[in-house]
Amino acid sequence: MVFANAQRATNTGSCDTSSCSGGSGIGTSWIAFNQTTPSLSGSSTELYNSGAQFDTLWYWHLGAHNSISNLEFDFYAMVDSDQTVIQAIENGPQQYVAGYKYSMTMQCEYSKQLWRVYNQAAHGWTATNAPCPYWTPNVWHHIQMYITTDQTTHSETYHTVIVDGVPYTLEVTCGVTTAAGFGNNLGFQFQLDNKSSGGAVHEWIDNVTLTVW
Q: How far apart are CA 3 and CA 124, in angstroms?
A: 29
Does residue 15 have a pLDDT over 70? yes
pLDDT at 21: 63
Mean of pLDDT values over 16-24: 72
Determine phi and psi for 41, rounding to 5 degrees: -95, -10
Q: What total of structural domains would you count in the chain?
A: 1
For range 107-126, the mean pLDDT: 92
What whole-number distance in Å separates Cα of residue 161 and Cα of residue 165?
A: 10
The pLDDT value recorded for residue 118 is 94
Residue 121 has pLDDT above 90, yes or no: no
Please tell me the predicted confidence (pLDDT) of residue 179.
81
pLDDT digit string, tens, across residues 69-81: 999 999 999 999 8
Q: What is the DSSP string of 137-194?
A: TT--EEEEEEEEEETTTTEEEEEEEEETTEEEEEEEEEE-EE-TTPPSEEEEEEEEEE
pLDDT in tens, 136-189: 999 999 999 999 999 999 999 999 999 999 999 999 999 998 987 789 999 999
Q: What is the pLDDT confidence band of residue 92, given thresholds at 50, 70 and 90?
A: very high
- Sequence-distant (6+) residues with CB within 8 A of 21 are 15, 55, 56, 57, 191, 193
Task: Give me the phi and psi of 79, to 5 degrees please.
Answer: -120, 160
For residue 183, the enclosing domain spans 2-212
**Residue 187 sits in a domain of what CATH number?**
2.60.120.260
Taking residues 118-129, what's their average pLDDT?
92
The model's confidence at residue 11, banded by pLDDT at 50, 70 and 90, is confident
Whether the per-residue pLDDT at 36 is higher than 70: the answer is yes
Which amino acid is located at 11 in the chain? N
Round to whole Å and give the CA distance between 3 and 94.
Answer: 14
* C-alpha–C-alpha distance, residues 79 and 201, integer Å: 7
Does residue 211 have a pLDDT over 70? yes
Confidence of residue 18 (pLDDT cuts 50, 70, 90): low
- CA–CA gap between residue 173 and residue 184 (Å, rounded): 22
Q: For the residues 110-138, what does the mean pLDDT come to?
A: 92
3-state SS, residue 118? strand
The letter for the amino acid at 103 is S
d(Cα 59, Cα 92) in Å, to the nearest integer? 10
